[in-house]
Structure 1
Amino acid sequence: MSTHHEDRIKQLLDLMTPDEKLGQLQQLAWAWDTGPGSGSTEEAGAAARKGLLGSVLNVFGAASTNALQRIAVEESRLGIPLLFGLDVIHGYWTTFPIPLAQAAAFDPAVTETDGEIAAREARSNGVHWTFAPMMDVTHEPRWGRIAESHGEDPYLTSRYAAAKVRGHQGADLAAPDRVAACAKHFAAYGGPEGGRDYNTVDVSEQRLRNLYLPPFKAAVDAGVASVMASFNTISAVPAHANPHTLTRILKEEWRFDGLVVSDWTGVLELVAHGFAEDGAAAARRALGAGVDMEMVSTTFADHGRELLARGALTEARLDDAVARVLRLKLRLGLFERPYVDESAAVTEPTASTRAAARDAAVRCMVLLKNEGHTLPLAAGPRSIAVVGPLADTGDLLGTWTVPDAQQRFPAVTVAEGLRTAVPEAHLVCVPTGGAPGAVEDADARAVAAAASVDFTVVAVGEPPALSGEAAVRSDLELPAGQRELIEAVAATGKPFAVVLFAGRPLVVGDWLDSAPAVLLAWHPGLEAGHALADVLTGAVAPGGKLPVSFPRAVGQIPVHYNHERTGRPYDATQPDEKYVSKYLDLAEGPQFPFGHGLSYTTFTTGDPRLSRTEIPTADLSEGATVEVTVSVRNTGDRAGDEVVQLYVHDLAADIVQPVRRLRGFERVTLGAGESTEVRFLLGAEDFGYWTNDPEGVFVLEPGAIDLYAGADSTARNRCRLTIN
């Protein structure tokens, strides 16, 4: 913590009136949003002129932010600059794949690059603060915001959370190409009942700490500038008014000195929760729990003086909240450099940023199935059909894109990408779907095209509008007509592959047998078509892995690899046993497990080898580590990528442990016949766990630990470590 900053904060606090202090805790929003609390730049300008505004949301562009900033800096009494925030989730002008797709790369460098490019583009346009990364671990694919997450595993999510923070913030927040990151949503937002957004989360302390909190701790350790409270309740206490998570864990236990911001109207929603009787009570409970800045709703500003007067809000708590706002502004260098150079604003993607987005999209794609080497496409002149509802659309950027980017820089289409990649081929494109009455004709033309060409690419899946915030689905099968299209193309007997676009895991079992090859492209961002062509033609071999399990049916949810073992676990050696934990009408396990992903080549992974097979608990507690070595070989005839994954399982513990926990991964590139060794260092945090004690107790128990290494979460290569 900078002593200079703290001295400046104290000087400002001594000068500020109660109204000016409360004003620093207010964030207003407008632009394309029209929800409660949104307004005009004139309204914000009036508040800024009086020193009654701390931040604005959804105003961006160098000229727009500079104009509003001049009012705050040059016309208000104390000249405190405004903080401009914007949801830059997976790119500003250069849209990268959605976060769930990025997790499939099993390469945090992908998200760090996204963060760096987005920060540079956003900061040049006057944006100081982005509300990313989202690090809500989830076992719920019906939940639309799984698209913004990194899937079902806390370790994978933690690695990505830290990488995104580094990408956005760099070593110096005041640098002209960096923005403040925000770890959201704190906490357990990814566990809503029924997958319904904003819904109840009932969670034990041990699950909170073992599953949901690790990515937030990783972000805090990486220096994240801010944290956002979540909309949900946490065991019947709304997160926006939860002192256990916001103050005891985040600010006291983790010593977080940054800013806690509410989500959109999250403070006022305490009334709808039935947790506060009115706006004044909502302000009292949120401020008292640890929220420092209120987004959009205005209960702090409306009721703060009243709360101070009757002792419901202390001067110390108010000053602490204001100090956290000022600290972020000082760390961003806004007092010294409140304006951006309008002539230096980045106004479009560049060739280099497009290349980075293309490389990211390639690394994120997952080959789910590839019978008979259907992919890659054969070399030489040929005829290709691209059919399906997503065959020729630029709407492949994904949820949560900057609106101007979506309009000005749509994604490269599948058809365009293939035309560019194989100009010598005869390419026929037949988009299907559309207005009622035209569907059957389009499908018929698509099937006729498939019958007349050498190879067909069937582009199906969810459009981005079906995932993201408030986009909950009770049915995870393909939208109407798409399964029938796949089966009709299959009936032609000609070679084809399905390209699946999605913002979440989908149920694919009803058509999977019909498709010889399935490539999961997610929502791949700006360079979608070019990246897809790279993979389809074999210019690059796919190497992505699933960061989330794919269910066989919606009724199977939740289905995830890191589940707890039951007293009557399913035993594959006795599949006819009735009285075990299974479904009568579904095969055991997911359609595709966590970590699954094929390549155009093949790999073998050896048994994990330990630097020591026994280790004292005391040594681990004092920082000792165990090195795990895993060999991997490319046994095929071309180069490719493999992700070596390491899982642990505590055989017996005072709290029942997951059957597997991911504790290491590394993506390696190997030529045909090449091999290498991958090494992982494991320590106390990899073998211990948090108990149900609300004070936060982490324990290491003596006993046996099995370690598994392989290409997905079903790996069987095993060794055993004894902790004594």
Structure 2
Amino acid sequence: MKNAICIFITIITFCVNVSAQDAKMNIFIDQLMNKMTLMEKLGQLNLASGVGNLPVATEGSGLEDFIRKGLIGSTGGKRNQEIAVNESRLKIPLIAGEDVIHGYNTIFPIPLAMSCMWDMELIEKSAQIAATEAGVSGICWTYSPMVDICRDPRWGRIAEGAGEDPWYGSLVAKAYVKGYQGNDLSASNTILACVKHFALYGASEAGRDYNTVDMSRLSMYQDYLPPYKAAIDAGAGSLMTAFNVVDGIPATGNKWLLDDLLRKDWGFKGLVVTDYASINSMKTHGMGESQAGAARALKAGVDMDLAGQIYVSTLGKSLEEGKVTQQEIDRACRRILEAKYKLGLFDDPFKYFNEKKAKEVILCKEHIDAAREIASRSIVLLKNNKELLPLKKTGKIAVVGPLANSKSDMLGTWSWKGKAENVISILEGIKNATGTKAKVLYAKGSSYTTDPYLLNVSKKKADYITPSIEKENQLLQEAKNIADKADIIVAVLGESRDWSGEAASRSDISIPECQQTLLKEMLATGKPVVLILSNGRPLTLTWEDEHVDAVLEAWHGGVQTGNAVADVLFGDYNPSGKLTATFPRSVGQIPIYYNHKNTGNPINVEAKYSSKYLDIPNDPLYPFGHGLSYTRFEYSNLVLDKTKLKTNETIKVKLTVTNIGKRDGEEIVQLYLRDLAASISRPVKELKGYKKVMIPSGKSKEITFDITSEDLAFWNKDLVFGTEPGAFDVMIGSSSADIRLKTTIDLEN
């Protein structure tokens, strides 16, 4: 009883303190806004990216002049902050935002790779380190996390997210927000998170960036909105709109999305910023001229205009014409000032500029060690026939491939502060691990591609590259020469960092032909070949899977890629990663995802009239949740404490997992549920739990899952979230396709 009273008093005290802080903030902002002119208020709504040729402010003296006039609310740089707080009339500090996506200087694996760890503590740690390094370098706001659900690997920005599952993506979203913002946003080692892209951006048609999105409200609520909501519930202080349309209306001007849903239903009180010039792009969506788009965005609930400079140049006129109100302008201005206040910028505008601390923390040993651990745990062992892996650190090892000795590609997309000089390449990592025990031979073997279109897309004509057959033949011969001398061949193939991320969609997600030729020639030697993939998205690897005995998915793994790959390649770390995005057999299967609905005519290979392809199997090459280990795990002894569940009750599910292999290893045990009869068609299975456990060789561990009625709830046809009584399958396995144990429970009224 005494403990309960203490907890109650603590909660009351916290609420009183928060209320007092809010009251103090409101008084401060009220007083400040009473002094502001209309143009100074509009200036707060203006985020200048520092990019030239914009209608109001450009780089250099033009930008500085607009800061002096109070017409810029956000931009980076210490000099710009000095101008804002020393030379502008009201001394309002600037907020500095950047794309700190998977590390600042210490670059971690791309977010898709990190999601394959199934480890929220390490994802949170990566965000904490990113916030620490950015937070001493003048950055107090990150345009991250990207929580878009993506079921189409052609979309380049799949690299920035957590894959295809809304339940799992929600956990990842929370971890990033907690890592960036911590428990005290005013602390110098925390920065403001910005959830993006609201909403549905990952469902762009044909996997083409910036493209249209069209889906039912039911699909929105059930499959795409949960991670945004989870990030907001975790306390994210800002949100970025998407480029796409939602219900036919651009997200940046969509009142239902940004006001009815986000503000009213979800209770979001933070700052909403556009994506890059997305108010301007409303015109190309067919929504009228820029002034009309700006008015529409403001009314919908957009507070800050990123790089478009349309707010500051048109809202004054719209106010005069009665197309917007002073209240709407004030509301947007207040939210921006609140963000600055909560970050502590009014108390110390230069708190995020700490050169002394930067020298201590940026790329420090602790951060580098974390990058290596995270990169190692992000690697997924896709195939390992004949137990080819792990390799021994002896003999002669031929390392070939255009990505084997690349440093810059290991940084991946959105790593603008990462430097190639800080990267350990895969070749270097292998050499570091083997030392004098093995002889490591190297040849590039091929270019990234010889496809003229892929080589030159987005390039100016003066910069065009012409493929050279002679050069390719020379590279290939060099690889064949070292392969002849080697005992084993390691081929490092995949994608350049420029082939994934924003504006990097691909219609063909296979390994380019010249790289495939290299791999075929290496296999033709008859020597063992290990394929290491370095890429930013799922690839189509049907031929590779059929012919190569061992395949490691290493992704673009950040500054410690090489050491991490070597840790796994030689068995110093037993791989435990599992996929969070499905690898298709062919692009013809896309969109592809494990939690699909069944059809009225499910696949039957012997029946003509069933839902199937004539030329390939329906199932993917590598399913969601797939990932092998250097040991093997056996599942047994499934026991439930009861089989009937009522609201507010819990069913405990217990099972035993035994390591029957010769190595200690980690297993990610996955819990899936299926609603067998409901008022709407439900998915064939849905992830609702997982446990990541280390089990020594020959030992067993008991795993427990709790299933509640909340786990069985869904959005019905009326968009009401709740449960319906009936039977549910409980499935536990090593992947979404490798179900080891199964039973049924009943939900009662």
Task: Tell me the TM-score normalised to structure 1 length.
Answer: 0.94
Equivalent residue in structure 2 for 1:239, among 232, 240, 251: 251
Structure 1 position 482, deviation (Å): 1.4
Q: Tell me how far apart the structure 2 counterparts of residues 55 and 682 of structure 1 sit (CA, whole Å).
A: 46
Structure 2 match to 1:338: 349
8 Å contact kept, 2:413–2:497: no
Q: Tell me how far apart the structure 2 counterparts of residues 692 and 244 of structure 1 sit (CA, whole Å).
A: 19
Q: Tell me how far apart the structure 1 counterparts of residues 279 and 641 of structure 2 sit (CA, whole Å).
A: 52
Letter in 2 for 1:495: P
Q: Deviations over 1:521-574 (max 9, x none)?
A: 01111001100000001000111001011111111111110111111112xxx4
8 Å contact kept, 2:412–2:557: no
1:15 matched to 2:35: yes
Structure 2 match to 1:122: 134
Q: Tell me how far apart the structure 1 counterparts of residues 390 and 74 of structure 2 sit (CA, whole Å).
A: 50
Q: Tell me how far apart the structure 2 counterparts of residues 83 and 479 of structure 1 sit (CA, whole Å).
A: 43
8 Å contact kept, 2:95–2:340: yes
User: Which sits farther off after the overlay, 674-683 or 195-204?
Assistant: 674-683
Structure 1 position 36, deviation (Å): 7.6
Structure 1 position 105, deviation (Å): 0.8
Q: Tell me how far apart the structure 2 counterparts of residues 312 and 451 of structure 1 sit (CA, whole Å).
A: 75
1:190 matched to 2:169: no
User: Residues 610 and 248 (structure 1 numbering): CA distance in 2 closer, same or farther, change over 3 Å?
Assistant: farther
Equivalent residue in structure 2 for 1:455, among 478, 482, 488: 488
Structure 1 position 68, deviation (Å): 1.2
Structure 2 match to 1:375: 389
Q: Tell me how far apart the structure 2 counterparts of residues 478 and 640 of structure 1 sit (CA, whole Å).
A: 31
Structure 2 match to 1:268: 280
1:351 matched to 2:377: no
User: Residues 709 and 231 (structure 1 numbering): CA distance in 2 closer, same or farther, change over 3 Å?
Assistant: same
Letter in 2 for 1:237: I
Equivalent residue in structure 1 for 2:242, among 230, 252, 259: 230
Structure 2 match to 1:588: 618
Letter in 1 for 2:730: L
Q: Tell me how far apart the structure 1 counterparts of residues 639 and 55 of structure 2 sit (CA, whole Å).
A: 58
Equivalent residue in structure 2 for 1:701, among 724, 730, 734: 724
SS of the residue aligned with 1:138?
Answer: coil
8 Å contact kept, 2:414–2:501: no
Structure 1 position 716, deviation (Å): 4.5
Structure 1 position 408, deviation (Å): 4.6
Structure 2 match to 1:364: 378
Structure 2 match to 1:62: none
Structure 2 match to 1:54: 73
Unaligned stretches of 5+ in structure 1?
60-64
Within-5 A mapping of 1:179-328: 179-275=191-287, 277-328=288-339
Q: Deviations over 1:207-252 (max 9, x none)?
A: 1011111101110111001010000011211111111111111111
Within-5 A mapping of 1:590-629: 590-606=620-636, 608-616=638-646, 619-620=647-648, 624-629=649-654
Structure 1 position 683, deviation (Å): 3.0
1:531 matched to 2:564: yes
Letter in 1 for 2:203: G
8 Å contact kept, 1:38–1:296: no
Equivalent residue in structure 2 for 1:711, among 722, 731, 734: 734
Task: Tell me the TM-score normalised to structure 2 length.
Answer: 0.91
Structure 1 match to 2:174: 162
Q: Deviations over 1:7-49 (max 9, x none)?
A: 2222222222211111111100126x87887721433321221
SS of the residue aligned with 2:47?
Answer: strand
Q: Tell me how far apart the structure 1 counterparts of residues 644 and 544 of structure 2 sit (CA, whole Å).
A: 49
1:91 matched to 2:103: yes
Q: Tell me how far apart the structure 1 counterparts of residues 277 and 516 of structure 2 sit (CA, whole Å).
A: 40
SS of the residue aligned with 1:655?
Answer: coil
8 Å contact kept, 1:363–1:543: yes
Q: Tell me how far apart the structure 2 counterparts of residues 604 and 43 of structure 1 sit (CA, whole Å).
A: 67
8 Å contact kept, 1:644–1:709: yes
8 Å contact kept, 1:37–1:296: no
Q: Tell me how far apart the structure 2 counterparts of residues 632 and 514 of structure 1 sit (CA, whole Å).
A: 32
Q: Tell me how far apart the structure 1 counterparts of residues 232 and 640 of structure 2 sit (CA, whole Å).
A: 31
Q: Tell me how far apart the structure 1 counterparts of residues 145 and 365 of structure 2 sit (CA, whole Å).
A: 25
SS of the residue aligned with 1:92?
Answer: coil
User: Residues 15 and 682 (structure 1 numbering): CA distance in 2 closer, same or farther, change over 3 Å?
Assistant: farther
Equivalent residue in structure 2 for 1:667, among 661, 671, 692: 692
Structure 1 position 625, deviation (Å): 3.3
Q: Tell me how far apart the structure 2 counterparts of residues 518 and 585 of structure 1 sit (CA, whole Å).
A: 25
Structure 1 position 416, deviation (Å): 0.6
Which consecutive segments of 4 or more residues in structure 1 shift more than 4 A?
Answer: 33-38
SS of the residue aligned with 1:397?
Answer: helix
Letter in 1 for 2:34: D
Structure 1 position 451, deviation (Å): 2.7
Letter in 2 for 1:661: E
Letter in 2 for 1:319: D
Within-5 A mapping of 1:433-452: 433-434=446-447, 436=468, 437-452=470-485
Q: Tell me how far apart the structure 2 counterparts of residues 611 and 218 of structure 1 sit (CA, whole Å).
A: 30
Structure 1 position 471, deviation (Å): 0.5
8 Å contact kept, 2:54–2:308: no
SS of the residue aligned with 2:197?
Answer: strand
Letter in 1 for 2:605: P
Q: Deviations over 1:339-363 (max 9, x none)?
A: 0233322484122211100100100
Q: Deviations over 1:183-203 (max 9, x none)?
A: 100000000111110111111
Structure 1 position 390, deviation (Å): 1.1
1:679 matched to 2:704: yes
8 Å contact kept, 2:401–2:446: yes
SS of the residue aligned with 2:203?
Answer: coil
Letter in 1 for 2:630: Y
Q: Tell me how far apart the structure 2 counterparts of residues 37 and 148 of structure 1 sit (CA, whole Å).
A: 31
Q: How many percent identity over aligned positions?
A: 42
Structure 1 position 306, deviation (Å): 1.8
User: Residues 341 and 445 (structure 1 numbering): CA distance in 2 closer, same or farther, change over 3 Å?
Assistant: closer
Q: Tell me how far apart the structure 2 counterparts of residues 165 and 111 of structure 1 sit (CA, whole Å).
A: 10
8 Å contact kept, 2:540–2:586: yes
Structure 1 position 6, deviation (Å): 2.0
User: Residues 610 and 471 (structure 1 numbering): CA distance in 2 closer, same or farther, change over 3 Å?
Assistant: same
Q: Deviations over 1:78-124 (max 9, x none)?
A: 21110001000001000000000001111122221110111010010
SS of the residue aligned with 1:391?
Answer: coil
1:4 matched to 2:17: no
Q: Tell me how far apart the structure 1 counterparts of residues 416 and 664 of structure 2 sit (CA, whole Å).
A: 39
